[in-house]
Amino acid sequence: SYGRLLAFLVSRFRDVQAAEDAIAEAFTAALRTWPTQGVPAAPDAWLLVAARNHLRMGARRARVRDAFADASRRLEQPMAPGQSPFP
């Protein structure tokens, strides 16, 4: 499963390291979840969804972090009188 999951995620997200990390997180989530809830009918699909969600959340965090850094830089710059710090 690992090789197929990795190939699929890398083809979609173009980042081998991030895909490997996401798969590791998915397997960790499976180890926490499956003993109590049982193994799903399609474990590969479950792992894929968990890894893909992890990658999407990472991308979302990066966008928020970048937007915050950009806003911080704009607020640190001196403004002309009456100029708004927001575009």
Using the predicted structure, report yes or no on whether residue 28 has a pLDDT greater than 80: yes
- Give the whole-angstrom CA distance, residue 87 versus residue 84: 7
Least confidently predicted of 46-50, 61-65, 76-80: 76-80
- Give the list of residues 6+ apart from residue 28 with CB closer than 8 angstroms, or none: none
Residue 87: per-residue pLDDT = 64
- Give the whole-angstrom CA distance, residue 52 versus residue 25: 10
Give the whole-number percent of the chain exceeding pLDDT 70.
Answer: 97
> With contact defined as beta carbons under 8 Å apart, do 47 and 23 qualify?
yes
